Structure 1
Amino acid sequence: MSRSYDVKFWKTKRNASSKKPSYVVRWPVDGKVHSKTFGGSELAENFLSDLRQAARRGEWFDTDTGLPESMLKARNARTWLEFARAYLNVRWPHQAAKSREGIVETLVAVTLSLTTERKGRPDTELLRKTLRNHVFLPKDRQPEPDAQSEITLRWLEAASLPITELNETRHARAAVEALTMLLDGQAAALSTFRRKRAVFHHALEYAAELGDLDTNPLDRIKLKPAKSNNVVDWRVVVNPGQARELLTAVTYIGRTRGPMLTAMFACMYFAGLRPAEAQGLRKQDCLLPEKGWGQITLIKTRPQSGTRYTDTGRSFDERGLKHRKESEDRVVPIPPELVAILRTHIETFGTAPDGRLFYTRGGGTFSGTAYATVWHMARPLALTPDRVASPLAGRPYDLRHAAVSLWLNAGVHAPEVAERAGHSVDVLLKIYAKCIDGQREVANQRIDKALES
């Protein structure tokens, strides 16, 4: 095997000689041209992106196979554990912190299901901890393993099934079934299962591309977990009066934390923002006239993840909007009441150095635990005991649900509501189906009027 850093990349081209659409990736290494054909343009572009990322990281390329160091390790892996570790290292640079976290949790669950019945199996929690800390992290982020972790690592390496065993449907099915359960033994939500299955499917697709598997075995598995209800529970939705009472109660929590967070919660209710969107809101993103409606232009979010998954080493990375391209923004009109709240907030607290409206005493970002604690302390001040015991506004996120429900029940057209909320229309109507009240009577009246004309 000879190595070279002399690599170039050519544009992906459609294969004109095949009847069925296929796309060819071609790249010369030390003058020797290599190529790989894919059934779809997205797969081809993803593969080309992986090659380019490897080159940017300074990896050498094998002149015989054309593959970079990281891909060659994945291709030469003998066990699932070896392959999964190599796969993570290939995917890590491309992913946001939350996506990295999702990949790790998926690989941990799958890896535990792809082991032999070997003596001396460590405790499951210790296995998970070892995989998270000493396997499924880049080398430079891994802590030094202690004696217990060393023993666990040796067991995992010895017990991991050969990756070729996944050509057998029973092993692939066992791994998929592991994704249907949460750590506490409860069934995972359908959305959670689908997200993890997509990660596993991509990993196996990658293994098939490298020749470790004949085909992707998940394509043969028809596992349908029990459908979970992702529809918003109408009982969590507050009315405008209750929302205002809650916002007032928040101002009584703490000397500055409650008053600082009041406007953030108001953005979630009056503008339907997600918490991470509100956390990323800056003064320069707001149009706040003295009278009338204003406008928020959402550009960045600040989702929370474990520090091991972020590029900054902090709990928050700045990212683009959910379900949108990195540079794409979202404009949300805001009512005069929220305009007044934000103007007062800025006059009282100013902004962080980067212009953010909601920041901690040290200029950081409020953790989910911090603002949830304030919210839970405010509920008993604003609600009657029977409502405190109910699901009503049990989480800050329920303010967003209340906002979207209010817009829909006010008769705002679904496409407009979806645009403001950052949803697709299909997802919007599915999630909020039980929160749309009184629309049947309105529809009947409109149909009557149309029939009379």
Structure 2
Amino acid sequence: MTTSYDVKFWEIRRNKSSKSPSYEVRWKVGGREKSKTFKTKALGESFLTDLRQAARRGEAFDLETGLPQSMIKAKDARTVLDFVKAYVEARWPHAAAKSRDSMSDALATALPALTMDKPGRPDATILRTALRQYILLPEDKRPAMPADIARAVRWLEAASLTMEDLNDTKAVRPALDALTLRLDGKKAGANTIKRKRAILHHVFEYAVELEELPSNPLHRIKWKLPKTTETVDPRVVVNPRQARELLVALTYVGKRQRGGKGRGQRLMAMFACMYFAALRPGEAVSLREQDCHLPPQGWGRLTLDGSRPEVNRRWTDTGDAHELRGLKHRGQDDVRRIPIPPELVKILRQHITEFGVAPDGRLFRSERGGVVASTAYTEVWQEARTLALTPAQVASPLARRPYDLRHAAVSLWLNGGVPAPEVAARAGHGVDVLLRVYAKCIDGHEEIVNQRIADVLTA
């Protein structure tokens, strides 16, 4: 195979010569022009994105086919397992750690169902471990396999359906059915099913792009997705009094005798950022002193440019559980500016005075100076709930997770009459998503509508 790194791309153009609308992707490899036609512009854009990302990560392109090496590996795959392995290799470099985790989770659920009935099938747990911790990782990240995992891998390689088998919808339906169940056999959550089905759909779309499948087999199966709930449950939202009581309670969690400072006091300001500034936990963990404008009087400001979401080290490039990423749903270099009230300004100033900052400027750190783990701050939060809330409230969904402080903040702003575009800008949402997700948390609308109807009826 003769390859070249000299690649050039053109914008997609509509093919006006065809009777039905079609779109042409054009690119050049080593001076040779290549093209591929798609029925829709979206399919063409997806293919062009794959080509550009392969070029960006330094892949060589084949002069004959015009495809990068990762795509050729997928085209050469004869079994579903080999194709999925090539798909993971192609997607891995430009996927976020959490996306890699989700991709592996979904495919480890579907692949055991896309197999033939061969003797010696390993236990479901062993198969999932083999996929999650070995097969569905790039080759250079796979650890040495123990004997039981190696046997499971050999069985999967022998039993995997061929790509041609996917043209039979009867072969694909078991994979969809597998997405609806948890490992214990109970029904999976609607959002989980939707997420996993979307990933499987994308794998098949990639196969269609590479002309390994004539069409996406999922489109031929009558299978209804369960209804998902996107709106925030209003029962989780605390009012300002409850929020402040929880923040006070945090200062008593793990408090040592003789005036020592406990775990809760070290983290109280981080939780305050989630409530008063609607930060996501990953954004709060990543907050640095240089991101904060904290004047002696009046309102301050936080300027966010990154987040540290937590994920298993297996999925990160650095091997750290917290990989620094750009802001969610924003470009890599985007920032978000959030005005913060004097109450939070005071809390942050006091925190810096008492605890200082990490060498890189991070405000919040573990006692050993590391990034605060989700297990640590969740444990502290649960203790604070038992101190601040009544037994009935502790048993309820009220502020069950630290993330619910962010929900409370956004709900408070909307109920206070802050225009939705401003709330969306501060919270890092799109306006449409904001109103859809927080629709049930906007108090007072029912009374207003009732009064308007009453006025019309009595007019």
The TM-score with structure 2 as length reference comes to 0.91
Change (3 A) 1:198 1:451: same
Give the match for residue 215 of structure 2.
215
Indicate if the aligned counterparts of 2:14 and 2:22 stay in contact, CA closer than 8 A. yes
Indicate if the aligned counterparts of 1:271 and 1:332 stay in contact, CA closer than 8 A. yes
SS in structure 2 at match of 1:333: strand
SS in structure 1 at match of 2:338: strand
Identity across matched positions, percent:
57
Indicate if the aligned counterparts of 1:298 and 1:330 stay in contact, CA closer than 8 A. yes
Give the match for residue 90 of structure 1.
90
Give the match for residue 329 of structure 1.
335
Residue 167 of structure 1 pairs with residue 167 of structure 2: yes
Indicate if the aligned counterparts of 1:297 and 1:329 stay in contact, CA closer than 8 A. yes
SS in structure 2 at match of 1:247: helix
SS in structure 1 at match of 2:385: helix
Structure 1 stretches lacking a partner, 5+ long: none
Moved more, 390-399 or 170-179: 170-179
Indicate if the aligned counterparts of 2:294 and 2:349 stay in contact, CA closer than 8 A. yes
Q: CA deviation at 1:443?
A: 4.9
Tell me how far apart the structure 1 counterparts of residues 15 and 231 of structure 2 sit (CA, whole Å).
46
Moved more, 112-121 or 181-190: 181-190
Q: CA deviation at 1:383?
A: 1.8
Moved more, 285-294 or 73-82: 285-294
Moved more, 65-74 or 220-229: 220-229
Give the match for residue 311 of structure 1.
317
Residue 428 of structure 1 pairs with residue 434 of structure 2: yes
Change (3 A) 1:239 1:30: closer
Q: CA deviation at 1:389?
A: 2.3
Give the match for residue 375 of structure 2.
369
Q: Give the letter aligned to residue 175 of structure 2.
A: A
SS in structure 1 at match of 2:48: helix
Q: CA deviation at 1:125?
A: 0.5
Change (3 A) 1:450 1:259: farther
Instruction: Give the alignment of 1:4-403 within 5 angstroms.
Output: 4-17=3-16, 18=18, 21-55=21-55, 57=57, 59-254=59-254, 255-403=261-409
Q: Give the letter aligned to residue 221 of structure 1.
A: I
Tell me how far apart the structure 1 counterparts of residues 279 and 366 of structure 2 sit (CA, whole Å).
19
State the Cα RMSD in Å: 2.5
Tell me how far apart the structure 1 counterparts of residues 144 and 132 of structure 2 sit (CA, whole Å).
13
Indicate if the aligned counterparts of 2:236 and 2:398 stay in contact, CA closer than 8 A. yes
Change (3 A) 1:386 1:166: same
Deviations 1:344-403 (A, max 9, x none): 112222222222211223432111111001111112221222222222211111111221
Q: CA deviation at 1:310?
A: 0.6
Change (3 A) 1:445 1:284: farther
Q: CA deviation at 1:45?
A: 4.2
Give the match for residue 411 of structure 2.
405
Q: CA deviation at 1:309?
A: 0.8
Tell me how far apart the structure 1 counterparts of residues 52 and 235 of structure 2 sit (CA, whole Å).
50
Change (3 A) 1:280 1:6: closer
Q: Give the letter aligned to residue 190 of structure 1.
A: A
Q: CA deviation at 1:128?
A: 0.3
Q: CA deviation at 1:406?
A: 1.8
Change (3 A) 1:330 1:19: farther
Tell me how far apart the structure 1 counterparts of residues 5 and 304 of structure 2 sit (CA, whole Å).
42
Change (3 A) 1:86 1:292: same
Change (3 A) 1:263 1:156: same
Total equivalences in the alignment: 452
Tell me how far apart the structure 2 counterparts of residues 450 and 420 of structure 1 sit (CA, whole Å).
37
Deviations 1:307-334 (A, max 9, x none): 1111111001111111222222222222
Q: Give the letter aligned to residue 198 of structure 2.
A: A
Q: CA deviation at 1:278?
A: 1.0
Structure 2 stretches lacking a partner, 5+ long: 255-260
Moved more, 404-413 or 107-116: 404-413
Deviations 1:245-265 (A, max 9, x none): 111111122334312210110
Tell me how far apart the structure 1 counterparts of residues 369 and 230 of structure 2 sit (CA, whole Å).
35
Change (3 A) 1:39 1:346: farther
Indicate if the aligned counterparts of 2:301 and 2:338 stay in contact, CA closer than 8 A. yes
Indicate if the aligned counterparts of 1:409 and 1:439 stay in contact, CA closer than 8 A. no
Q: CA deviation at 1:155?
A: 0.5
Change (3 A) 1:42 1:347: farther
Indicate if the aligned counterparts of 2:12 and 2:45 stay in contact, CA closer than 8 A. no
SS in structure 2 at match of 1:203: helix
Tell me how far apart the structure 2 counterparts of residues 256 and 19 of structure 1 sit (CA, whole Å).
72
Give the match for residue 258 of structure 2.
none
User: Among 422, 438, 443, which residue is 1:437 paired with?
Assistant: 443
Deviations 1:164-215 (A, max 9, x none): 2111222333322322333343433333333222222221111011121111
Change (3 A) 1:53 1:225: closer
Tell me how far apart the structure 2 counterparts of residues 341 and 135 of structure 1 sit (CA, whole Å).
48
Indicate if the aligned counterparts of 1:180 and 1:225 stay in contact, CA closer than 8 A. no
Q: Give the letter aligned to residue 427 of structure 1.
A: V
Indicate if the aligned counterparts of 1:12 and 1:23 stay in contact, CA closer than 8 A. no
